[in-house]
Structure 1
Amino acid sequence: MTLEEKTSLLPKNGWVKFSLKRQLVTSSVIFWIVAVSVVSLAFLGFGQSYMLQETSQRNTQIASIIGRDLNAQVAEILADARNFTRHLELLNPDLSGQVGAAVSLRLSAPQRYRSIYFYDSQGVLRFYINDSVDNLFRLTSAEILARPAVPVNDSVLDAYRSSRTQGTFLSEVAFSPIENIPVMHLGLPLNPALGTVVLEIDLQGIWGGIQQITFGQTGFVYLVSRSGEIIAHREPAMIGRPLPEEISVLIAGNEGFVEYTEAESGQVVLSAFSPVGGLTGWGVIVQQSEADAHAPIDRMAATIVALWVAMGVIGTAAIFRAVSNLTSPIVKLTEATNSIAATGKLARISASDRTDELGQLSRSFDRMIERLQATEGKLEHAAAEERNRLARDLHDAVSQTLFSTCIIAEVLPKLWAKNPEEGRRRLDEIQRLTRGALAEMRTLLFELRPQVLADADMSYLLRQLVESFNTRQPTPVDLQVSEECQMTPEVKVAFYRVAQEALNNIAKHAQANHIIIQMRCEGGSAVLSVGDDGLGFDRSATRPESLGLGIMRDRARDIGADLEVKSEIGRGTVVNLKWRLPAGEEIHGGD
């Protein structure tokens, strides 16, 4: 498909496969969407990484805060217990007073201290207190001392033995056989002469606080012992189970965060660990499902997607509007040029008020159309004048010559019979008239076919002018062409026109008896000279445009030649046209 065929397919609105508007909109929208997508993906990736990091840090901080709180509660218990042992040491050897002190401790915090066991230095259980608060109010110290010893569980004995060898000892968490209450045993040695005290600590209050801690939809907290067993969990079935293997690596360190898949549920969870510290050896684990932890990320992703869509739509609309505004003058120019190419009718596009290059281009196009319209009018006027001139030339020269030839030919037979000598003279006149008519016709054909004029030799063109001139004017013409000068077609046509105009002026105004036409080459120049011995004229009293001088000057200016007109009244006129070869070129004589 040719360019003209493609152009003919362009619709009026300019929105086509080949349009600049579509290319600009498409490329700009693609670039905008890719840029927004890259920025959105980068922001989403950074946001996800940042929020995951924030989640891990937050959960680890929660675990650390809970661990410090538990450590503070255990430290408070240890402080109360040590104060209690010092009080017992001060009461020695008043055993009844020591019983009273133990009862006071039990009554001061009945939900914390479940049982109190007092062993003497020989390892004999001297008294124990595990009664309810109501019973304690009814018992006396003597009754408590008089009670027979009872069997104690292994945790109490282990705490007693460990405290005698290690000092203050805190056992692992155990659960009471009947109530299943979490407890731990604290062994506190007195001075060697007094013995050892073992306190059974009730952990229900601490465990209740742990189980009430939740965050998000699935976040919760549980505790593990120093041996890695779960000792506090919101699901009772998990108590006593070993810590998941994925988290066990965190027990050796201070704090940590890990993501793993639970074996039972197959759910991906995030767990943060922080040790409690102190004698307990516990660890706090904050657990949350991945979906719950990623919920803010999902909301952020949805927001980013919504922003991406909004920015894509808004950006596309803005690009379309900007490109439409940018290409509107170009579309108008395209439609105008297509219309001119299709119909040949010149039309303005009504230049816009834009001040940028496109506005300047639109206004320049309108000015160009105005000039072309003016030139078109001039050309139409010139064409009409040329047609009128050709008609006059046909009428004044060829038509008159042929009419005279026809009249002479009609009377020639009778004239020949009467006067053969006159007949021969008339016959020679017929020959002269027909030759002149032929020359006039050739000249007119040159006028109608400029290419023939450009292709012919300069000597041939000048001879045709002379023969045509002699048809209308019997003035003798001396044509002198020294050699053929090679010149461009434009220069040749200009030389021909100047010679033609000079002969026309001679025929109309000079009343000359003799005419000389010279054409010669002088080094790098071509020179044409047309001279006559006619009336001449006063150049100072003659307008530059009169006598065809303006036409000849225009012809000379168009080819960059020099035109010189010399004339004096009563001494004739000489027209000289000199064309110089452009720098770097050379005129050669002959063909």
Structure 2
Amino acid sequence: MINRFSSIRYSYIRSHLYGLFLTSITLLSLLLSIYVIFEPAWLTAPGIFLFISLYIVIGTILSLYAGFKSSGDMKERLEYLSVLITRFANGSYTSRVYFNEEDELARIGNEMNELGEKLQNQVKALRQRADEKAEFAKSAHKAAVIEERQRLARDLHDAVSQQLFALTMMAEAAVKQMDRDSNLAKEQMVEVTKAALQSQAEMRALLLHLRPIHLSGDTLSTGIQKLVDELKQKSTIAFKLNIPSDLQLADTIEEHVFRIIQESLSNILRHANASEVEISLSKPTSELFVHIRDDGEGFDSTQDMERKTSYGLKTMKERSEELGGTFTIRSNTGEGTYIDIRIPC
């Protein structure tokens, strides 16, 4: 935090007081020199020090007032530049600042405006590339379907198939122990139940990926509502949705956001063990804000993002950046996961 007494306003006041100090010393030296050399009758030592004292008191008051007033315009213009930089950092590249003066701050403001225009053009270029990529994806739909089937087959083999095999082995062992050791058999059946629940979660996540890649004519809010309604019937998770029904977005943005939310729900079903999920979409200004929260087990986001299991998170981040947006994830073990996405519109 910036020290209050090191601000622009107090720097102006200090400079005025420093000027007053130098002027007072100069006047005192001049008057004392005249008094010592010429000894005029109208100039006395008490008069000199009374004059200097009054001069310092009045000068201090005027310096404080002048420094405070003269720094107001400078402080206000610097705050305009600071707000502009903050808006650029948040993805609002249409903001501009204009000064009537012709000085260094006005030149910096013009350069910041040019930077904002360049960033805005880059976002448009990224969005155009995303549109072209979406068109290419539609034309290559058959190849994508084959690739998706192959991925699902690998996931079924690597996850669900192996879990079902382990579940079968544990169930057979529990049956054999039923007559010998009922307590051991009970413990094994508890493990069978846990394995079955895990397999069920994996199947739900895989079925979630079988939904159409595109919204099939539905709006984003309608598509998300249908997706959540389907998951409510197959899981015990409580969903909270906050999505405006009149949200107007480009088709490419809607498809990417839908796939991001779909991927996040898949991760929650597989890994989070959550009981409550919140999805919020808003468009307060010229950007779309997406917030996804769950109260699950969470993870160490500083380490797990580099692991293979975070492929879904990397995909979500890449989709956000393709639209010129920002992707932020916050999570700690045992504290759930928070995802914030900002996309310029």
Q: TM-score, normalised by structure 2?
A: 0.40
Q: Which has the higher strand share?
A: 1
| Greater share of helix | 2
User: How high is the TM-score relative to the length of structure 1?
Assistant: 0.24
Higher alpha-carbon Rg: 1
